[in-house]
Structure 1
Amino acid sequence: MTSPENATPLTPRGSMRRVDWETFRRIAADASTTLPIEQTAAWDAFDAAMDGREPWGRLVYQDADGAPRALISLTRMDVRGFPYLWARHAPVWLGAAPSPQEEAELRELVVAGVRVHDPAIVFVRLHFTHPAAGLHELLQTMTYDRTVILDVEREDDEAFLASFKPRGRRDVRKALRNTELTYHDETDIAEEVFAELYEILTETGDRDGFRAAPEDTYRTMLRTLGPEHCRLYVARRGGQEALAWSIDTIWGDGAARYYAASTAEGRRGRAADALLYKEGCWLRQRGVRTWDLMGAGSERVPELDGVGSFKAKFTPAGAVDIPGAWDVPVRPRIYAGLVRALELKHRAQAGVSAVRERLAALRTTSAAEPEQ
């Protein structure tokens, strides 16, 4: 794609201004908008506690009449020693969905402001609905542009279960009949149990093809967000061995199933299914109305097809489209250099893997040949 500097510039009709948290929060409240937790002061504490991350600032995009149109909270991070900004799950648009022109204008205003206030920044990562020149696939991480969102505002637990697809109800009820399986809110003992749970996460990553973050990332998340905004739920066999677990974040009446993992046994016995049902019931009791299961497969991200299929059985609505994340270069030449460096790294890694596979095949062949 072409860079923003090569695209036809828009004549800005709106404006951008920096604001403090209280102003940011009030604007969202006035618009009856529940912010993603990553856009809140609670997330600032998590960012501040992590190496290589820090809150950068909050912006309000205003229309031509000066009315707030979108909210953006940015975190300063780095890749290969080069700083960038990430507005996780933002811009948060207020009111109607944005037009392509509004998204383009917002991008130009953000990039122009960052060049002035923090010229070391190489790119800004923002979430957009409309494809456009100047939007690049992410460096070194995966986004998603479809997800599954459950409505947990029901009369009772049975009504919540009844809202699932037939396959989802069947799998949950099958697990609930297994009296060996027990389900627990272990938020208050997270620090002492998480070592066991992290082993399950690494097993899940090996099985599903992803690399877990360092264990301290999850511990820091639970500690800094605190029990009001972050819960740990676990399924166990006989109240002892952990089979499945999840971390849910909460802000206002919204929640997100941020991380989840299960053992092979937990999957076979549907402990993961029943845990999802149980935690939805517990979240409803905490005032949650909408629950984002975070990520499903799409044309852009087919790697999530399998996990998306699992999540979709818990609602007839299936997956829905949401804005995916894109990199927007602020310093295009340096960004292009980063892209080339990562491409060379991936090619080198692929070459090493191919050599190792050939050597392994030769060893196997040699071992299989009879001695003369």
Structure 2
Amino acid sequence: MTLPENASPLASRGSMRRIDWETFRRIAEDAATTLPIEQTSAWDAFDAAMDGREPWGRLVYETADGTPRALIALTRMDVRGFPYLWARHAPVWLGAEPTAAEEAELRELLVEGVRFHDPAIVFVRLHFTHPDPGLRELLQTMAYDHTVILDVDRADDEAFLASFKPRGRRDVRKALRNTELTYHDETDKAEEVFGELYQILLETGDRDGFHAAPEETYRTMLRTLGPDHCRLYVARRGGGEALAWSIDTVWGDGAGRYYAASTAEGRRGRAADALLYKEGCWLRERGVRTWDLMGAGSERTPELNGVGSFKGKFTPDGTVAIPGPWDVPVRPRVYGSLVSALTFKHRVHSGTARLRERLGSLRGGRDGADEATADGNE
């Protein structure tokens, strides 16, 4: 379901209308704006290949005089059987940063248009700069509103390394002196090697407290985006066992470090640090100028403080604020019921975890007493 070609019937000062990919791309180029890959036709292929999601449509938000002001590509997704739309890393604003009034008008136009043309949609997820009472924290998904962005447009590899903080340069150079560590672009054999790499992702998730998506998600991403837009880089010991890896997306002169994982040994030996340096050099050779490491800790997401500290070693600029994602209810009552259901689910899980911990403690205490008695009897 998409909006028609004509403007939304509820437009106020500005308007919103549906456009095709070529018009979307041309507007971005005319504004000298590099689109996030999630807003491109390449990402449409990924969405179309995944169960439970599909491209929904592309929109342009225009000022009263018809000047394009923002672009939005939306994906239709599903949570607990309820459909919603997600504009990943959008709206893409053209020119100056948006005012609070512009963000509010865009939300109003979009919500009213969605209600009219696809009334089953429960909420829309978009990225905004300005706080507003109508914005809700995300259901189930972790948001981030700070990241680390590296400038890889340097004269050569040494100049890129010199741009790191002293601690980052030290850790990379230490790893590079280890001749057992080797670094590889394995994009062309991703299908063959990813089974091994997925096990490292599971290990990383257990260590850092996150749940990996099913293995097929990453394979589908690599396959559908293709080598022009998705690269796989791996650090290995002696060209054999994998110690760290990353998936980078590429669109135009921008790139994003979408996924990364490492073994405990890879972390200790700084293989992950040196791999980040190597992949930045390889991305520069592919025409990338700006590289987003995608996510760092903030007041909203303190869970990312650790990973943000790691990423922060590679630039003196530290983390930068970006528009964070928010849920915008389209059907407020249904959205409220979803929030209540998920809150109850989390309370049940939390209570179950505390009960298991308590039972484990009781068992541990009894076992400890038995061991002490046996030792005393001896």
- Normalising TM by the smaller chain, what interval? over 0.9
2: CA distance, partners of 1:124 / 1:239 = 45
Structure 1 position 11, deviation (Å): 8.5
RMSD: 1.1
Structure 1 position 365, deviation (Å): 1.4
Tell me the secondary structure at the aligned position of residue 280 of structure 1: helix
Q: Which runs of 5 or more residues in structure 1 are unaligned? A: 1-9
Give the equivalent residue in structure 2 for 1:142.
Answer: 142
Give the equivalent residue in structure 1 for 2:132.
Answer: 132
**11 and 117 in structure 1: CA distance in 2 versus 1, 3 angstrom threshold:** closer
Give the equivalent residue in structure 1 for 2:329.
Answer: 329
User: 1:45-84 maps to which residues of 2 (within 5 A)?
Assistant: 45-84=45-84
User: 1:210-289 maps to which residues of 2 (within 5 A)?
Assistant: 210-289=210-289
Structure 1 position 12, deviation (Å): 2.6
Q: Is the 8 A contact 2:11 2:109 kept in 1?
A: no
Q: Which runs of 5 or more residues in structure 2 are unaligned? A: 1-9
1: CA distance, partners of 2:363 / 2:297 = 38
**95 and 270 in structure 1: CA distance in 2 versus 1, 3 angstrom threshold:** same
* Superimposed CA distance per residue, residues 257-312 of structure 1 (whole angstroms, 9 cap, x where no aligned partner): 00000001100100000000000000000000000000000011111000001001
Give the equivalent residue in structure 1 for 2:208.
Answer: 208
Give the equivalent residue in structure 2 for 1:352.
Answer: 352
Give 1:257's aligned amino acid: R
2: CA distance, partners of 1:253 / 1:21 = 19
Give 1:54's aligned amino acid: E
2: CA distance, partners of 1:249 / 1:352 = 39
1: CA distance, partners of 2:232 / 2:311 = 19
* Superimposed CA distance per residue, residues 90-118 of structure 1 (whole angstroms, 9 cap, x where no aligned partner): 00000000000000000000000000110
Give 2:146's aligned amino acid: R
Give the equivalent residue in structure 2 for 1:92.
Answer: 92
Give the equivalent residue in structure 1 for 2:111.
Answer: 111
State the identity as a percent.
82
TM-score norm. by structure 2 comes to: 0.95
Q: Is the 8 A contact 2:256 2:292 kept in 1?
A: yes
Give 1:243's aligned amino acid: L
Tell me the secondary structure at the aligned position of residue 369 of structure 1: helix
1: CA distance, partners of 2:100 / 2:307 = 30
Give 2:304's aligned amino acid: L
1: CA distance, partners of 2:296 / 2:270 = 20
Tell me the secondary structure at the aligned position of residue 234 of structure 2: strand
2: CA distance, partners of 1:250 / 1:356 = 45
Give 2:158's aligned amino acid: E
* Count of aligned pairs between the two proteins: 363
* Superimposed CA distance per residue, residues 344-365 of structure 1 (whole angstroms, 9 cap, x where no aligned partner): 0000001111111111111111
Q: Is the 8 A contact 2:58 2:72 kept in 1?
A: yes
Tell me the secondary structure at the aligned position of residue 356 of structure 1: helix
2: CA distance, partners of 1:338 / 1:305 = 29
TM-score norm. by structure 1 comes to: 0.96
Tell me the secondary structure at the aligned position of residue 305 of structure 1: helix
* Superimposed CA distance per residue, residues 136-177 of structure 1 (whole angstroms, 9 cap, x where no aligned partner): 000010110000000000110000000101110000000000
